[in-house]
Amino acid sequence: MPRLAPSRRRRRFVAWAIIVVVALAGLSMAVVGWGTGRMQRPYKGFSGDEVFVDVAPGTGVAGIARQLAEAGVVPDALTFRIAVRVKRAERRLKAGEYRFSTAASPFAVVDRLTRGEVFLRPITFPEGLTIAEMARLFEARGFGDAAAFEEAARQADLVEDLDPAAPDLEGYLFPETYALPRRADAKALVRQMVGRFRTVFGEEQIDRAKAQGRSVREVVTLASVVEKETAVAEERPIVAGVYANRLRIGMGLQADPTVIYALARAGRWDGNLTRENLRFDSPYNTYRYAGLPPGPIAAPGRAALEAALEPADVPYLYFVSQNDGSHVFAETLAEHNRNVREWQVQFHRNRR
């Protein structure tokens, strides 16, 4: 059999080599296309309406991929790992709990984890709540135990520089809406709330208090009483002015919320304030003891803090509720007694 000339053998080899290279390139492109399509194709492998994946701090890409695959978020662990590699996101995946409710591509899942879009739920602490009331709300919303919140709120060292006398964080947990994971850490939340208080009541406010010869504790305590006395925005500076006038002349504040707080601390508050309650012996009872109570009785908001720093210059020493959330103010006891008869005695008689 005649042998091919060396030049013809080389040409045939080159031709076959080109065919093989083209075939491999085509196969490679097909694999890449298949893989890219798999990583871009939305996937939902869980049967319910939603699924949660909790990525613990320090979990590697392989561990995260396994969690996502077992939860049905991605088709398999390898696809997710390849998607991470393609996105060059190996060091950018963030820990936290993630909620998935719709189909998502592996690429989209990688993007969510690199952005740290963890699942959060809001909880709103209204102005005027005590630590105990905040703790009950924390538990009622399903974030954790009330006892854990109350324990966390005993971290008085968080405000030691602001209030060295504080036995706990009453008054310093700023009332606001916070976004929390499903299983919130009470200590972390408390630190966040104190941090928010420091933002609202910052160096400017501290300097203003010092210029008036008042401590942060005194301002926050007065603000907490104002907060509990009225929810009407325009009344807060006036109520603060009434109390400032009383403090100046040594007159008792005679604030019902301080009595309620004293009774609640003693486990004796039943929701009904009586004349006997007003005689309850507690340093928080401002009917028995003149001056401010020993410390805050609730969490004041921004407006109450501002009112306590800048009380209105008013001549009033008295006020009584008009039964709609607002109050009527008086300069003299005689005027006040008339207001009491009109807005309390006669009002309730007319309702019988």
Tell me: the pLDDT tens digits for 310-341? 999 999 999 999 988 899 999 999 999 999 99
> What distance in Å separates the CA atoms of residue 213 and residue 229, rounded to the nearest whole number?
24
| 33 found inside a domain | no
> What distance in Å separates the CA atoms of residue 152 and residue 185, rounded to the nearest whole number?
9
Indicate the DSSP class of residue 316. -
Residue ending a domain, choose from 314, 331, 347 = 314
> What distance in Å separates the CA atoms of residue 143 and residue 120, rounded to the nearest whole number?
11
| 34 found inside a domain | no
> What distance in Å separates the CA atoms of residue 119 and residue 52, rounded to the nearest whole number?
9
CATH classification of the domain holding 82: 3.30.1490.480
pLDDT of the residue at 2? 56
pLDDT of the residue at 246? 97
Q: Are residues 164 and 183 in the same domain?
A: yes
Q: Are residues 97 and 159 in the same domain?
A: no
| 62 found inside a domain | yes
Q: Are residues 306 and 221 in the same domain?
A: yes
Q: Are residues 107 and 90 in the same domain?
A: yes
| Contact yes or no for 297/257 (Cβ under 8 A) | yes
Mean pLDDT of 194-205: 97
Mean pLDDT of 43-61: 93
33 C-beta neighbours (distance < 10 Å), count: 10
Strands 318-321 and 177-180: unpaired
* Burial annotation 149-188 (CB, 10 A radius, 16+ → b, else e): bbebbebbebbeebbeebebbbbbbbbbebebeeebebee
Residue ending a domain, choose from 200, 232, 253 = 200
Q: Are residues 306 and 267 in the same domain?
A: yes
| 270 found inside a domain | yes
SS (H, E, C) 275-302: CCHHHCCCCCCCCCCCCCCCCCCCCCCH
Q: Which of 50-54, 147-151, 321-325 has the lowest mean pLDDT?
A: 321-325
The overall average pLDDT reported for the chain is 90
Q: What is the dihedral of CA 67, 71, 75, 81, to 10 degrees?
A: -20
CATH classification of the domain holding 164: 3.30.1490
pLDDT of the residue at 324? 87
Q: Are residues 173 and 221 in the same domain?
A: no
Q: Are residues 157 and 181 in the same domain?
A: yes
19: left (phi over 0), alpha (psi -120 to 50) or beta: alpha
| 291 found inside a domain | yes
Element of type H or E holding 100: strand 96-100
| 76 found inside a domain | yes
| Contact yes or no for 307/237 (Cβ under 8 A) | yes
Q: Are residues 257 and 231 in the same domain?
A: yes
Which range of residues forms the domain containing residue 56? 51-115
pLDDT at 169 over 70: yes
Residue ending a domain, choose from 92, 115, 138 = 115
| 13 found inside a domain | no
* Percentage of the chain lying above the pLDDT 70 cut: 88
Q: Are residues 107 and 147 in the same domain?
A: no
> What distance in Å separates the CA atoms of residue 110 and residue 15, rounded to the nearest whole number?
43
pLDDT of the residue at 310? 97
Mean pLDDT of 125-145: 96
pLDDT of the residue at 17? 54
* Percentage of the chain lying above the pLDDT 90 cut: 81
Q: Are residues 221 and 306 in the same domain?
A: yes
| Contact yes or no for 230/327 (Cβ under 8 A) | yes
Q: Are residues 195 and 224 in the same domain?
A: no
Domain count, the chain: 3
| 205 found inside a domain | no
Q: Are residues 127 and 170 in the same domain?
A: yes
Q: How far is CA 46 from the centre of its chain?
A: 31
The 10s digit of each residue's pLDDT in 259-305 is: 999 999 999 999 899 999 999 999 999 999 999 999 999 999 999 99
Q: The whole model's pTM is what? A: 0.79
* Burial annotation 197-212 (CB, 10 A radius, 16+ → b, else e): bbeebeeebbeebeee
As beta bridge partners, residue 122 has 179
Q: Which of 34-38, 94-98, 147-151, 234-238 has the lowest mean pLDDT?
A: 34-38
Helices (H), the chain: 6-40, 61-71, 77-87, 106-115, 131-140, 146-152, 186-200, 203-211, 216-229, 236-249, 256-265, 302-309, 333-340, 346-351
